Structure 1
Amino acid sequence: MNEAPPDVTALLAQWADDDSARERLIDSVYAELRQLARSLMGAGAAAAVTLQPTAVVNEALIKLLGNTSVFEDRRHFFGSAARAMRQVLVDHFRRKQSEKRGGDIDFTSLELAQALPVADVTELMALDEALSRLDSLDAQAARIVELRYFAGLTLDETADVLGIHPATVSKEWAHARAWLKRALQ
């Protein structure tokens, strides 16, 4: 007989005070987070990332474990996880760019330094900056972009995570894409 999956919302309520609740929560959502990271790693500009989905999830979890705030529910947690994954990827790209500009020079790994196409890194960095500006103007639209682009969620999944109607997500997604397109030109 299979054991019932743990109640994620209940475990999140215990997040700040109970290490065993954190462990049970991570065990119960780890596969889902890896799938999100895998989707992210297959997305356009992120395709050339030299990180593995497991590394992205682990780094994101480290960021989340350092978070002392309480997650309201599953939606809040997965939204925070998507943001943490975005930060992990952007930080990774920044380190790679720094290495290409001479920081942390390792003359024996020229091939590794050239493994990440500059255009992809530049595009992701520009997207991150534009997304930060969008966040200050329209936080919901920025969350939708994070969940759709960085976490690879569908319109319906994004609506579920944010607790809004799929039609609203569709409208906001179109608005955000248009705004980002103008901001990136």
Structure 2
Amino acid sequence: MDTTLLIAAARSGDKIAEARLFDSVYADLHRMAQHHLLRSGTDIAHAQSLVHEVYLRMARGDDAPNDRRHFFALASRAMRQIVIDHVRKRGAAKRGEGVAPLSLDDVREPALTAVLAGQDDELLSLDAALQRLEHFDESLARLVELHFFGGLGFVEMTTVLDRSERSLKRDWRKAKAFLYRDLAHATAG
């Protein structure tokens, strides 16, 4: 059954649909995490940990998904929050001490991989810049969240966001330009 239909049925109190929805949500999250961790050469065991954390956050969150599109937005947001929370808990060392900068062009490396590689300061800086982008243009921030933290490719995002691949790539360039400029300004200041 379609995720959107399961969500609607679960919201109306159908316990069977609710159970099927949770199974579906878990499977979608696991595939999403597993696919992108495999592409980056990261041990698949990390995908399971990420899925469990995302699932728990989404299950206890007040914001229940309305449809498939909203589900992916919430899942990507949860992945971003988990990664950033993990970085903050590790108490990152002083900014820029011999750590290679995190590139938005290399989105094959999901944010979790960057955390595991010790790029804590770069992820915290990116999160701060992403928050500023959110104030400037929320749709661009969601795109970065889905692509970088959620690991969705442009083809996948066309369905989730109901937009053409061409327009998504154009907005991706805008978002990258904003973030690069913002990060350069933050580093210089």
TM-score (norm 2): 0.74
Q: Residue 81 of structure 1 aligns with which residue?
A: 75
CA distance in structure 2 between the partners assigned to 1:147 and 1:12 by the alignment? 20
Q: Residue 12 of structure 1 aligns with which residue?
A: 7
Contact 2:10 2:17 in 1 (8 A): yes
Amino acid at match of 1:178: A
Q: Residue 146 of structure 2 aligns with which residue?
A: 147
CA distance in structure 1 between the partners assigned to 2:123 and 2:35 by the alignment? 16
Which protein, 1 or 2, shows the higher relative CO under an 8 Å CA cutoff with sep ≥ 6?
1
Aligned residue pairs total: 162
Identity %: 36
* Residue among 37, 42, 57 paired with 2:51: 57
Q: Which runs of 5+ in 2 are unaligned?
A: 95-114, 185-189
Q: Is 2:12 the counterpart of 1:27?
A: no
Q: 1:97 aligns to what SS in structure 2?
A: coil
Q: CA deviation at 1:135?
A: 1.0
Q: CA deviation at 1:69?
A: 3.5
Q: Is 2:127 the counterpart of 1:131?
A: no
CA distance in structure 2 between the partners assigned to 1:84 and 1:117 by the alignment? 20
Contact 2:58 2:74 in 1 (8 A): yes
| Shift in alpha-carbon separation, 1:43–1:138, aligned structure 2, 3 A | farther
Q: Which runs of 5+ in 1 are unaligned?
A: 1-5, 102-114
Larger Rg: 1
Q: Is 2:175 the counterpart of 1:176?
A: yes
Two-structure CA RMSD over aligned residues (Å):
2.7
CA distance in structure 2 between the partners assigned to 1:40 and 1:121 by the alignment? 19
Contact 1:13 1:70 in 2 (8 A): no
Contact 1:37 1:85 in 2 (8 A): no
| Shift in alpha-carbon separation, 1:29–1:116, aligned structure 2, 3 A | closer
Q: CA deviation at 1:18?
A: 4.6
Q: 2:163 aligns to what SS in structure 1?
A: coil
